[in-house]
A = this chain, B = another copy of it.
Amino acid sequence: MSRNYKLIRTDGRAKRGQLETVHGTIHTPVFMNVGTVAAIKGAVSTDDLRTIGTQVELCNTYHLHVRTGDEAIRKLGGLHKFMNWDRPILTDSGGFQVFSLATLRKIKEEGVTFRSHIDGHKIFMGPEESMQIQSNLGSTIAMAFDECPSSRAERDYVQASVDRTYRWLVRCRNKMAQLNSLPDTVNRDQMLFGINQGAVFDDIRIEHAKQIAELDLDGYAIGGLAVGETHEEMYRILDSTVPYLPQDKPVYLMGVGTPVNIVEGVYRGVDFFDCVYPSRNGRHGHAYTHRGKINLNNARFTFDETPIEEGCGCPACRSFTKAYIHHLFKAKEMLGMRLLVLHNLFFYNHLMEEIRDAIDGGRYGQFRNDFIDLYESENEK
């Protein structure tokens, strides 16, 4: 039983929970809003996040380490003070960026040596370094340092990688315990989530899930999905793997995904999600609605005097029409990006509220069917 997570109710495999943290309660299922370098791309501030119902902001350890630096942020009192956000923050481990962005990397048992994608300088990061950086940032929840093998990697490679990721997890846990015991640590209640890997090999994932479950961490993530495999593979892996993660701990599906992916993930027992889609799509002129995604660059909106979605309570829909937002994209005005990022994050945050209500009401199966039917009715592919 987790000290901090309370499973309020289930509806099928869908879970309704709450995680008590030193920065307040997180009501799950939850979608975390991605603020890579301590800011949401699209000119969105933490003040805006309060307006659009954000529960958790996710920041990227690797990006903050190479730009401004975790040591500087520690001196400034940690991420919360730095960006003026008193609610929960989750930091990733940096592992994903090391394996996807950095160049010339070498993996050893100790950790990874690589070059910064900004200025090419050499960096070493292993489990201890990742924990130290996240401790400097003082996030609410730290993620374990792992390797995220390609969904197309060979079985032998994946097995060896997962074994090493397990050894790294043990080192993360030990380092975190040590850091949390130091008197001048920014957040001495920092939580640690472990990460399940195994590419698309269900048996490797299941064995790994069993192993990490025994470490009694604050939560468990499923990593290495939404990186090239099909949605069907993703759902199959969730079906096979989630049952081996503790039900009385939060389960986090990393980097996922579309509204439908999220509805399907909740259906399979996931509590936490994060994804750059709402902000990235917003910056490109795409907006989410319950009837699917629409492209505001499209000339068909030139004279459309309705909001993006009728009844939506976001700052864009409360004040502006599709015609105006279309004009902003045509004129390449930053305001267009900002309005759509606000709308899209509000849409995702509000979707999670609808999901929580449906589970509370014991009608999640019906909600899932209805949501997907409507969403796919007019979705622009």
Which chain A residues have a beta carbon within 8 Å of chain B's beta carbons?
A: 37-47, 63, 67-68, 72, 75-77, 82-84, 302-303, 305, 315, 319-321, 323-324, 327-328, 330-331, 333-339
Contact = CB atoms under 8 A, between A and B. Distances in A.
Contact of A327 (B68, B320, B333): B68
A320 B68 contact: no
Contact of A303 (B47, B67, B72, B303): B72
Given A72-B303, A76-B303, A84-B320, A45 B339 contact: yes
A67 B335 contact: no
18 contacts: A37-B327, A37-B333, A41-B333, A43-B334, A43-B338, A45-B319, A45-B339, A47-B315, A63-B331, A68-B302, A72-B302, A77-B305, A82-B321, A83-B320, A84-B319, A84-B320, A334-B334, A334-B337
A44 B319 CA distance: 13
A336 B334 CA distance: 12
A305 B44 contact: no
A319 B46 contact: yes
A319 B47 contact: yes
A283 B319 CA distance: 24
Contacts of A63: 331
Q: Which of A39, A63, A335, A339 has the most CB of B within 10 A?
A: A335
A-B CB proximity, top 9 nearest: A43-B43, A43-B334, A43-B338, A37-B331, A39-B333, A68-B327, A39-B335, A43-B335, A84-B319
A323 B38 CA distance: 12
B331 A39 contact: yes
Contacts of A330: 67-68
